[in-house]
Chain A
Amino acid sequence: MNNDQVSSGIWFLIGVTICLASLQYRIGTLSSPGSGFMPLLSGLAIGFFSIVGFIHATIRRNRGEIWTSILRAVRWEKALIVIISLFAYGFLMGTIGFFLCTFLFIGFLLRVIVPHRWLWVSGGSLLISVASYIVFEVLLRAQMPKGFLGF
């Protein structure tokens, strides 16, 4: 299997799932389409194009195009760390507040992705947290979440 065969297979499953999910709603008729009409059409379209893609990819596979790892020659663990920290920011922002959460988030990324010295990390993250708090909370009144510290 090559990359496009795998991805079109995944899309086919997504298309089937969408079709099944849309059947929960009234499909209606052509003269009176129901709520499920367009979702069903989009699911069918995804399924159809994924089949076209699979055929296209299979022809290329037969010509010698093989699977190439999408994580080859990259430091994917850095991307994973960033993803985890983004979700952690979402989970923690409501509890510990915007300011502290931003301080920890920036500090973590500055220290872990391309390690800087601790002084640089703490100073940089403090500066960015204070600046973003002033700009978004004080000046633009963006009403960012306040944690147990009250800011």
Chain B
Amino acid sequence: MGFQLAFQPTNFLFCFIGVFIGTLVGVLPGLGPVAAMSLLLPVTFNVSPVGAIIILSGIYYGSMYGGSTTSILVNIPGEAASVITCLDGYQMARQGRAGPAIGMAAFGSFIAGTLSIIGLMFLGPFLASMALKFGPPEYFAIMILGLTVLTFLSSGPMWKALLMAAFGLFLSMIGMDNVSGIARLSFNIEEIIDGIGLVPVVMGLFGISEVLINVETSMERSIFAAKIKNLLPTLQDWKASLGPIIRGTILGFCLGILPGAGAVISSFASYAVEKKISKYPEKFGTGLIEGVAGPESANNAASGGAFIPLLSLGIPSNPVTAILLGALIIHGIQPGPVLINEHPDIFWGTVASMYLGNIMLLVLNIPLIGVWVKILKVPYPVLFPLILLFCLIGAYSINNNIADVFIMNIFGVIGYFLRKFRYEPAPLVLALVLGPMMENSLRQSLLMSGGSLFIFLNRPISSVIIITAFSLLLIPLIPRFRKKRPAFSE
């Protein structure tokens, strides 16, 4: 059924458009998958729900492929999950081995992407059947865990990440209260009575603020000038990379399932593992292909794994899947345990399109390297007005309302200052999405228990999850772990 849907000419085209745009977004520094998906969300309103999800998920995993190209050639990561690829990828390029680095990144991504889809195929329906036994306390506990994991893994001090999550929760409360029907905290502003939309907030925080930071600094970048040849890795390269690819896939997939973790953490974790088990750890950072193969496989496997909590529990694990959740809801589909039974076309169509998309990406990436390099040469002073224009059009066309443009602009300014004061906006976005669901499950849980908070500890599943979440909050208090959190960079 999934393949029947995926091979329909329109869905096939949507898959191609998604992965092509995703690769382009990954290649272009300054435009990440979150901003790109927000920009294109309104465009998907006119297509079928399956088509919309195929396009948007294609952008997500496509960007993971494309991100490595800029890391290797320019030493600037196309998106956050490819930061670590710069270390060895760029060094390989300087040694004249840009071809094998890009080639191995593409092959590793393909293998990891395909294996993670197989995992999604088997684990998704299993978790969905398990989730039917979940009640409001379990859902609340999972969402708390998701937020806690994301804040735990965020860069910079943990209090900043928790503060961002709390602010995101507050923003999600603005608008109509589902239970009482009262318009809360909208201060009689008609445009926000229905709440603050996710898309203008995300476009402002990620898209506009990124441009603002870029225009005030130097907008020049140097492109690796040497001709790229021999994209196919040698037998020696394969021998060195096979282990990192498999380990990266397993690690990335497991971390991708975890709410709050994701592609960025997976790539860093994979690099750390490879360095730790290597016979020559001191050579990492000097141009080892293992340092490219492992992280690139991990971030692709994580993007596949992230679909599991989204499609089987209806819980997004990162800002990207939060946008996918928004897209599904806009199309009248509520993700959750019953999605696979009620809308099998969405689940299996997405899974099959991901197989197809991974093959397309492999075919696209190898011959199109030259094109991506040319696109990289488009000067930023020409590129940024276009990014801003797409943001403006994207924000307006969600509801054909200028108020959304102003909301996006305001959050662009907020995002600019958050970056300046080194606050990471990802927990804010996840909390904004999870907020209404969290409020409903908390209120239902408290009604069920007659006001006792012990309901979360009396039920086995929720108690394990809540204890895990609180343990994560306490870990930074242990001196040994206190100084190991990565610093935030603008």
Q: What's the nearest-Cβ distance from chain B to residue A70, in Å?
A: 4
Count chain A residues whose beta carbon lies closer than 8 angstroms to a beta carbon of B.
64
A140 vs B188: C-alpha distance in the bound complex, in angstroms?
33
Closest-by-CB residue of A relative to B380 is A114
Interface residues of A in 53-85 (CB under 8 A from B): 53, 56, 70, 74-76, 78-79, 82-83
Residues of B within 8 A of A132 (CB): 389, 393
On whether the beta carbons of A90 and B409 are closer than 8 Å, the reply is yes
Q: Which of B159, B392, B421, B438 has the most chain A CB within a 10 Å cutoff?
A: B159
Contact partner of B412 (CB less than 8 A), chosen from A7, A26, A86, A144, is A86
Residues of A within 8 A of B331 (CB): none
A77 vs B385: C-alpha distance in the bound complex, in angstroms?
16
A70 vs B423: C-alpha distance in the bound complex, in angstroms?
13
A4 vs B420: C-alpha distance in the bound complex, in angstroms?
11
CB-based closest 3 A-B pairs: A31-B451, A30-B451, A114-B381
Q: What's the nearest-Cβ distance from chain B to residue A6, in Å?
A: 8
Contacts A86-B412, A93-B405 given; indicate if A49 touches B184 (C-beta within 8 A).
no
Of the candidate stretches B59-67, B210-218, B338-346, the one touching chain A is B210-218
Residues of A within 8 A of B417 (CB): 70
On whether the beta carbons of B412 and A83 are closer than 8 Å, the reply is yes
Residues of B within 8 A of A4 (CB): 157, 421
| Interface assignment of B163: CB less than 8 Å from any CB of chain A | yes
Contact partner of B397 (CB less than 8 A), chosen from A34, A79, A136, is A136
On whether the beta carbons of B389 and A53 are closer than 8 Å, the reply is no
Contacts A74-B217, A78-B215 given; indicate if A21 touches B185 (C-beta within 8 A).
yes
On whether the beta carbons of B162 and A49 are closer than 8 Å, the reply is yes
Q: Which of B216, B409, B413 has the most chain A CB within a 10 Å cutoff?
A: B216
On whether the beta carbons of A49 and B159 are closer than 8 Å, the reply is yes
On whether the beta carbons of B163 and A35 are closer than 8 Å, the reply is no
Q: What's the nearest-Cβ distance from chain A to residue B46, in Å?
A: 7
Q: What's the nearest-Cβ distance from chain B to residue A88, in Å?
A: 10
Residues of A within 8 A of B212 (CB): 79, 82-83
| Interface assignment of A126: CB less than 8 Å from any CB of chain B | no
On whether the beta carbons of B442 and A33 are closer than 8 Å, the reply is yes
| Interface assignment of A148: CB less than 8 Å from any CB of chain B | no
Contacts A83-B409, A87-B409, A128-B389 given; indicate if A42 touches B157 (C-beta within 8 A).
no
Give the tally of cross-chain contacts (CB within 8 A): 164
Contact partner of A53 (CB less than 8 A), chosen from B159, B180, B215, is B159
Residues of A within 8 A of B400 (CB): 142-143
Residues of A within 8 A of B397 (CB): 136, 142-144
A residues with a Cβ closer than 8 A to B are 3-4, 6-7, 11, 14, 18, 21-22, 25-26, 29-39, 41-43, 45-46, 49-50, 52-53, 56, 70, 74-76, 78-79, 82-83, 86-87, 89-90, 93-94, 102, 105-106, 109-110, 113-114, 116, 124, 128, 132, 136, 140-145
Residues of B within 8 A of A78 (CB): 215-216
Interface residues of B in 18-50 (CB under 8 A from A): 42-43, 46
Return 6 A-B CB contacts under 8 Å, by A number: A21-B185, A42-B166, A56-B157, A70-B420, A94-B402, A106-B385
Of the candidate stretches B74-82, B167-175, B358-366, the one touching chain A is B167-175
Interface residues of B in 401-418 (CB under 8 A from A): 402, 405-406, 409, 412-413, 416-417
A36 vs B392: C-alpha distance in the bound complex, in angstroms?
33
Residues of B within 8 A of A124 (CB): 382
On whether the beta carbons of B216 and A102 are closer than 8 Å, the reply is no
Q: What's the nearest-Cβ distance from chain A to residue B106, in Å?
A: 30
Contacts A46-B167, A109-B384, A140-B46 given; indicate if A29 touches B423 (C-beta within 8 A).
no
A45 vs B453: C-alpha distance in the bound complex, in angstroms?
17
On whether the beta carbons of B166 and A46 are closer than 8 Å, the reply is yes
A7 vs B212: C-alpha distance in the bound complex, in angstroms?
20
Q: Which of B389, B423, B450, B453 has the most chain A CB within a 10 Å cutoff?
A: B389
On whether the beta carbons of B185 and A22 are closer than 8 Å, the reply is yes
Residues of B within 8 A of A3 (CB): 421-422
Contact partner of B169 (CB less than 8 A), chosen from A11, A42, A79, A94, is A42
Residues of A within 8 A of B375 (CB): none
Residues of B within 8 A of A35 (CB): 177, 179-180, 182, 184
Closest-by-CB residue of B relative to A49 is B163
Residues of A within 8 A of B487 (CB): none
A42 vs B170: C-alpha distance in the bound complex, in angstroms?
5
Residues of A within 8 A of B402 (CB): 90, 93-94, 145
Residues of B within 8 A of A31 (CB): 446-447, 449-451
Q: What's the nearest-Cβ distance from chain B to residue A111, in Å?
A: 10
On whether the beta carbons of B421 and A7 are closer than 8 Å, the reply is yes
On whether the beta carbons of B389 and A45 are closer than 8 Å, the reply is no
